[in-house]
Amino acid sequence: MKKFLKIAFALLLVVGIAGCGSNKKAATDQKKLVVSATLDPHSKILEEAKPILKDKYGIDLEIKVLDDYYIFNKALNSGDVDANYFQHRPFFDGEVEEHKYDIVEAAGIHLEPFGFYSKTIKDKKDIPNGAKVIISNSVADHGRILGILEDAGLIQLSDKVDRLKATVKDITSNPKNLKFTEIKPELLSTTFQNGEGDLVAINGNYALQAKLNPLKDAVIIESVDVDNPYVNIVAVQKGHENDEKIKALIEVLKSDEIKEFIEKTYKGSVIVVE
């Protein structure tokens, strides 16, 4: 009987230690937030938010910088990160529709005006006939790119297509006979710096990495208004959008401190949304 009690006590002790270890891990996880982001501006904004999250909420923010757009949502869906911050809404919607990811938008944070850049052309009136236009191979960007060109009077799109989903196949008028070439979005800024193409349409974050300000350097820039659908968002796994640490992250990203940082740092190349 004594031997049995000793064994039972030992088992209870082991279970108790294991339970304490699990609780400690859970508590640690609750104070840690892992967010993936592209380098600029997303990770830099998160770096500014990091000490605020720590001081105000006791949350340790870990930032994972990634470059390939198509890794982010897959990693989030599989639970490798708690959230991501890199994409605009149309890209997010396309990813969820295509891959059936179980992820949702937590909040819209900022807008990056999209521009066309050139080493040789200073004004859109100087764009030559047959100009080579290099664009992202991300289909989610095509509607945006072509919409900017349509607004600039360089092409016309079919009135039967949703402009957000337009592709080059939907161009009905192309008086300058523009030639489109698609490459990976992360290569656009390098392509521009190398002087390739007549016009290069560069995503806002990659333009920033190339030290380009769309308000000053772009030959053509999209109009920025309250109805612009290309707001950059924070995405999370479905069911976690109301987690305390996610709500804390959103509150900090929308704070006056972060707004002031963005305005002073990016001078209009990144615009805070309300």
Q: Phi and psi of 128, rounded to 5°? A: -75, 160
Domains of the chain: 31-112+229-272 (3.40.190.10), 115-221 (3.40.190.10)
DSSP string, 122-150: SSGGGPPTT-EEEEES-HHHHHHHHHHHH
Residue 118 near residue 124 (C-beta atoms within 8 A):
no
Residue 38: the pLDDT is 92
**Could you read off the pLDDT of 212-255 as tens digits, one per residue?**
999 899 999 998 776 788 999 999 999 999 999 999 999 999 99
State percent of the chain over pLDDT 90: 77
Q: How are beta strands 32-37 and 83-88 bridged, if at all?
A: parallel
Helix (H, G, I), strand (E, B) or coil at 220: strand
Residue 267 is which amino acid?
Answer: K
The pLDDT score that the predictor gives to residue 29 is 64
- What's the pLDDT band for 142 if we cut at 50, 70, 90? very high
108-119 burial string, b = 16+ CB within 10 Å, else e? Answer: bbbbbbbbbbbe
